[in-house]
A and B are shown apart, each in its own frame.
Chain A
Amino acid sequence: MKTTKLFRNSKTILGKCIRMVGAITLSLSALSAQANQLSAIQERGELVVAVPQDFPPFGSVGKDLQPVGYDVDMAAFLAESMDLKLKLVPVTSANRIPYLQTGKVDLVISSMGKNAEREKVVDFSRAYAPFFLGVFGESQATVKSPADLAGKVVGVTRGSVEDLELTKVAPSSVTIQRFEDNNTTISAYLSGQVEFIATGNLVAAKIAERQSNRDLVSKFMIKNSPCYIGMRKSEPELLSKVNTLVAQGIQSGKLDELSIKWFKATLPEELK
């Protein structure tokens, strides 16, 4: 039969191709890294920032589908202070680090928490926003600690800090359903596909405020995990520039202003 022969051929070609791809990748990885990223950004005149579009109040969309939120205003503040044009790239929790690694964005300002795994591939600025991770559910649900979750279904966004932390503390009988982005996680809760979700307190408050068919209250807190700005590793010039600007923003009251606008409270003292 003809196809059988074709498959046999394609297998040997496959082998060749794998070897070829291997050779190409080896030679490419030998290329040297480009110089200082900060000067590259300044030369370009544009700051490219990854922001969330599915995580109110940090980032969601307005009627014209443009991103709005605390993270978006934070990005605008940085670009303005550096006298650069701003380009926003909407990302999800799952793909924001690949965006950074592959040089598609200069900074990730996307309510990103810090952990050991991420610190291997990302450098973090100082904290710029508060974030308390917790488990949330309907008011009548009687859950007060991770142990009470036994046998329950909890939704979480894959690759987020809440995913990693929940995976650590939840008993083995908990079904953790991991979704691609926060939007899907929230939809899964609102449509009743999961009984609880693990997310940030501010996010949960926003969801509770906007919709009415299923209430959402805090069950217990997992971790205090403030948000940091992420950038590629070993870019000390960029890192120190961002840190200086965040510190300035905190001192001048600019970040408090943003915090009141989006979180309805000033920044907590420990961030200052």
Chain B
Amino acid sequence: MAYNFQFSGLLPYLQNLVDGLVTTVVITLITTVLGCLLGTLCAAARAGQSSFKSKVVGVYVELIRNTPFIVQLFFIFFGLPALGLRLSAWEAGTLAMVINLGAYSTEIIRAGIEATPKGQIEAAKVLGLTRFQTFVRVVLPPAIQKIYPALTSQCIIVMLGSAVLSQISVQELTFAANFIQSRNFLSFEVYFVVAGVYLLLSIGMRQLFNGIHYLVFPNLRAQR
């Protein structure tokens, strides 16, 4: 079969791609911040003394981790309006991503918290720190440091998962690709270029996270 590749056919749609890229980046940014925050709160609840809270969080984490993201997305977008909560595609997509990252980061952060030696918590108690102070100042910093690579990898995975938001008409990068494909029918060219953009995005995110790691945990510098 003869097929001529026409990458130049994409040029008129450059603006669509840029707009899509911006949306993907913004959604990823919001998701990373809110998702990790949600994960920290839930991890604290899991490690905390209330067994009820711990169980609720447990159910949430298991439900999200054991069902596909696309099904969760359809649920939030099509299901929640029946309960009276109508979100725009953009809001529904971002909410689904935050909930998704929240569940994964809960598990990751909890693993870090559990690795904190009991003695340190007891020492904090002896020093008269409140439970909140103990959690924020004693337990959390080494926990985050320990699980930082796993947590940031998860953020990148969630960024890549945002491609699925195109299915509910969020105008992110994959939506732009599909849109262009439906106008000029250059499917391979579009997907090839957009896959490349995603690759650069994930490499860029990794580098950025490494940079932040370097700034936030200066005690690691000596080890490099």
Interface residues on A, range: 35 or more
- Is A240 located at the chain interface by the 8 A CB criterion? no
Q: A155-B169, A178-B169 are in contact. List 19 more A-B contacts (CB 8 A).
A: A1-B210, A4-B207, A7-B207, A10-B203, A28-B3, A29-B2, A101-B185, A103-B1, A117-B183, A117-B184, A121-B185, A159-B181, A177-B89, A178-B179, A179-B168, A188-B169, A191-B79, A193-B78, A193-B81
Q: Which residues of B contact A (CB under 8 A)?
A: 1-5, 77-79, 81-82, 86, 89, 166-169, 175, 178-179, 181-185, 187, 199, 203, 206-207, 210, 224
Known: A7-B206, A25-B5, A33-B1. A191 touches B183 (CB 8 A): no
B1 CB contact (under 8 Å) in A31, A97, A184, A188: A31
Q: Which A residues are in CB contact (< 8 Å) with B169?
A: 155, 158, 177-179, 184, 188
Known: A33-B2, A101-B187. A3 touches B210 (CB 8 A): yes
Top 4 A-B pairs, shortest CB-CB distance? A159-B182, A177-B169, A191-B81, A191-B78
Q: Which B residues are in CB contact (< 8 Å) with A155?
A: 169
Alpha-carbon gap, A152 to B170, bound state (A): 17
B224 engages A192 (CB within 8 Å)? no
Q: Which B residues are in CB contact (< 8 Å) with A30?
A: 2
- Is A12 located at the chain interface by the 8 A CB criterion? no
Known: A29-B3, A103-B1, A191-B82. A94 touches B178 (CB 8 A): yes
> In chain A between 154 and 182, which residues have their CB closer than 8 angstroms to a CB of chain B?
155, 158-159, 163, 177-180
- Min Cβ gap A211→B in Å is 13
> In chain A between 28 and 56, which residues have their CB closer than 8 angstroms to a CB of chain B?
28-34
Alpha-carbon gap, A102 to B179, bound state (A): 18
Chain A residue nearest to B166 (CB atoms) is: A180
Chain B residue nearest to A7 (CB atoms) is: B203
Chain A residue nearest to B87 (CB atoms) is: A193
- Is A248 located at the chain interface by the 8 A CB criterion? no
Chain A residue nearest to B207 (CB atoms) is: A7
- Is A244 located at the chain interface by the 8 A CB criterion? no
Alpha-carbon gap, A180 to B179, bound state (A): 9
By CB atoms of chain B within 10 A, which of A4, A14, A120, A178 has the most? A178
Alpha-carbon gap, A188 to B92, bound state (A): 12
Alpha-carbon gap, A33 to B3, bound state (A): 9
B2 engages A158 (CB within 8 Å)? no
B179 CB contact (under 8 Å) in A3, A158, A191, A193: A158
B78 engages A187 (CB within 8 Å)? yes
Q: Which A residues are in CB contact (< 8 Å) with B2?
A: 29-33
Q: Which A residues are in CB contact (< 8 Å) with B203?
A: 7, 10
Alpha-carbon gap, A51 to B182, bound state (A): 18
A97 engages B210 (CB within 8 Å)? no
Chain B residue nearest to A121 (CB atoms) is: B185
> In chain A between 94 and 109, which residues have their CB closer than 8 angstroms to a CB of chain B?
94, 97-98, 101-103
B182 engages A94 (CB within 8 Å)? yes
Alpha-carbon gap, A57 to B103, bound state (A): 41
Q: Which A residues are in CB contact (< 8 Å) with B86?
A: 192-193
Known: A1-B224, A3-B206, A179-B168. A97 touches B185 (CB 8 A): yes
- Min Cβ gap A233→B in Å is 11
User: What would 25 A/B residue contacts be, using CB atoms closer than 8 Å?
Assistant: A7-B206, A25-B5, A29-B3, A31-B1, A32-B2, A94-B178, A97-B185, A98-B185, A98-B187, A101-B187, A102-B187, A120-B185, A121-B185, A159-B181, A163-B182, A177-B89, A178-B175, A178-B179, A179-B169, A180-B166, A188-B168, A191-B77, A191-B82, A193-B78, A193-B86
Alpha-carbon gap, A34 to B203, bound state (A): 42
